[in-house]
Amino acid sequence: MNSTKKRPLSLYFHIPFCKVKCVYCDFYSIPKREATIPGFVSAILAEFDQKCESLDLSNHFLDTIFIGGGTPSLLSPGQVETLLNAVYKRFAISDSVEITLEANPGEAPSDKLKAFRHLGVNRLSMGVQSLQSNLLKFVSRIHSPHQALETFLAARKAGFDNINTDLIFAIPAQSKSQWLEDLREVIRWQPEHISAYSLTVEEGTALHRWVAHRTVEMLPEIDDAGMYLDGRALLAAEGYEPYEISNYSRPGFACRHNLNYWTQVPYLSFGPSAHSYFQNQRWWNVRSLDGYLHRLTNTLPVQAGSEVLTKDQRVSEYIFTRLRLSNGISRRDYQARFEVTFEERHGKRLAKWLQKHIVCVDDHYRLTNAGLLLADDIAADLMV
């Protein structure tokens, strides 16, 4: 079958190792287990092979690969090569496949970056987070602002021409001018992509405990909103298209992997806690690294659960993800997918958000600035 007739597929490999656990992070990642990495690589390869054998993938072409975590830059080039070779054995690979690897500043030396680039990794995502030493320390990051720049420059030198920097704002005690100065400095580096996340308090994290015990106070919502909107305006003025609620890119450099997640392209994910979506089914793996390794070495399934999405779930997912995109919800696409018009299904609720929070432009429902601040609430309300 000609690859142009095939449908896109994304692959995600979750590497759950970190040198230290950041106080805000609830992604599945654990410190002090680096000795387990060689065994883990064999296990994730076994999972990948088993899954690919069990599915009919002949109607799909590989569009994107994302090696995320955790800290995938803790893998050796040889380990990344083994992973990618396993993928290349099963899928036709070309330069047009987007291959992202997450690298922590200060933890990805230049020879490693060169080797990753040489292996075909063509997009690097760096967790810069902040350029204020005191704020980095507060969130227990182990890199300095200077190391963030060093790693960025080393990535450029290694040949990466598609680099993302992750930034976090609304960190307790951070001022708006500090945040905008961080942003201006990162813009001077000229990355192709910037993700800017408002710090969220996730259950089970150290930050959650500190906030609960009142040893730390989060910024008031109004400050968070001001930082968000001013940051968004600055990025747009500097030529970074705000293509999603927290994501900005130079034209042509939007993250295809994440866009695939947000536009319901199927993806297969591997590793502990990984979630997959394929043929209207969703499944997820066990979360614990030891449970994952134990199951794979004993040829037991690593899947912890699965569900076939109902129509309501599909509609809900569609609204939650599309509304966050600046392109918004296409009325025509919605009707083609769900065989009902958007207004027939959500009209009553939509009316209360129209104009102030949602506008219809070129047949697409899009969030206004006021709407961006309430995106999840609006999506949930539209589903009622």
Ligand X SMILES: C[S@@+](CC[C@H](N)C(=O)[O-])C[C@H]1O[C@@H](n2cnc3c(N)ncnc32)[C@H](O)[C@@H]1O
Which partner in ligand SF4, ligand X, none is near 21 (CB below 5 to 8 A by kind)? ligand SF4
Question: Which 8-state DSSP code applies to residue 201?
Answer: -
Q: Where are the alpha helices (DSSP H) in 200-302?
A: 206-212, 221-237, 256-262, 289-297
Helices 37-54, 77-90: axis angle to 10 degrees equals 10
Q: Is 246 in the site for ligand SF4 (CB under 6 A)?
A: no
The strand pair at 364-367 and 329-330 is best described as antiparallel
Inter-residue long-range contacts of 250-256, CB under 8 Å, 24+ positions, other chains counted: 250/192, 250/193, 253/162, 253/192, 253/193, 254/193, 255/98, 255/100, 255/123, 255/164, 255/193, 256/63, 256/64, 256/98
Q: Is 64 in the site for ligand SF4 (CB under 6 A)?
A: no
Question: Measured between alpha carbons, how far is 356 from 319 in angstroms, rounded to an integer?
Answer: 18
Q: Is 71 in the site for ligand SF4 (CB under 6 A)?
A: yes
Q: Of the ranges 63-71, 72-80, 242-250, 254-262, which one interacts with ligand SF4 (CB under 6 A)?
A: 63-71
Please report, as residue ranges, which positions from 189 to 248 form the binding site for ligand X (by CB under 6 A). Answer: 197, 199-200, 202
Nearest residue to ligand X, scored by beta-carbon proximity: 127
Classify residue 382 by burial, with Cβ atoms within 10 Å: 0-12, 13-18, 19+: buried
Q: Is 178 in the site for ligand X (CB under 6 A)?
A: no
Q: Are 1 and 59 in contact (CB under 8 A)?
A: yes
Choice from 6, 8, 21, 27 touching ligand X (CB under 6 A): 27
Least distance between ligand X and beta carbon 211 (Å) = 12
Q: Of the ranges 17-25, 47-55, 256-264, 281-289, which one interacts with ligand SF4 (CB under 6 A)?
A: 17-25
Q: Is 250 in the site for ligand SF4 (CB under 6 A)?
A: no
Q: Is 165 in the site for ligand X (CB under 6 A)?
A: no
Which partner in ligand SF4, ligand X, none is near 202 (CB below 5 to 8 A by kind)? ligand X
Q: Is 102 in the site for ligand X (CB under 6 A)?
A: yes
> One symbol per residue from 116 to 145: x for binding ligand X (CB under 6 A), - otherwise; what is it?
-----------x-x----------------
Helix (H, G, I), strand (E, B), or coil: what is residue 119? coil
The token pair that represents 6 in the structure block = 């095939």
Which residues form the interface with ligand X (CB under 6 A)?
A: 24-25, 27, 69, 71, 102, 104, 127, 129, 166, 168, 197, 199-200, 202
